[in-house]
Amino acid sequence: MERAELEAKVLEMVAASFKKDAADLTTETSFKDDLGGASVQMVALVSEIENELDAVLMLADASACATIGDLIDLIEEEM
């Protein structure tokens, strides 16, 4: 999968899990500052990534990502 396609998919998944509009998100969006990330939403996101991209992430690794771009890097490593 090309990086651009992966980015688009992950932005959609983040939007769905955190109940945001995908158009407002970028790879620079911060989980902590912009999304107010709680573990419940991160669990939903990790599950969705596992379902749709077949990449199994550790919750602790996903939670350690500062931005959506960092998460995409992590997914690329696992795919």
Partner 1 sequence: MSVLDQIYAKAKEDPRRVAFPEAMNEKMMQAAFETGQEGYIIPVLVGNENELKAAIAERGYDESVFVIVDIHEETYKQSVIEKYVALPETRLKEKALSRRMEDPLYYAMAMQAVGEADVTFAGIDNTTGDVLLAGQMIIGLKEGISTISSIGLCDIPGFEGSEGTLLAVGDSAVCTNPNAEQLASIAISACDTVSALLDWEPRCAMVSYSTLGSGKGELIDKVTEAVKIANEQRPDLAIDGEFQFDAAISPAVAAKKVKRESRVAGRANVVIWPDLNVGNVGVKLIQQFGHADAYGPMLQGFNKVVCDCSRGAPVSEIKGNIVISAARAAGSRQ
Residue type, 22: A
Would you count residue 38 as binding partner 1 (CB under 8 A)? yes
The least distance separating partner 1 from the CB of residue 54, rounded to whole angstroms, comes to 7
Would you count residue 23 as binding partner 1 (CB under 8 A)? no
The per-residue DSSP string of 63-78 comes to: HT-SBHHHHHHHHHHH
| Cβ-Cβ contacts under 8 Å for 75 (sequence gap 6 or more) | 6, 10, 49, 53, 55, 57
Would you count residue 66 as binding partner 1 (CB under 8 A)? no
Positions touching partner 1 (CB under 8 A) are: 38-40, 43-44, 46-48, 50-51, 54, 56, 59-60
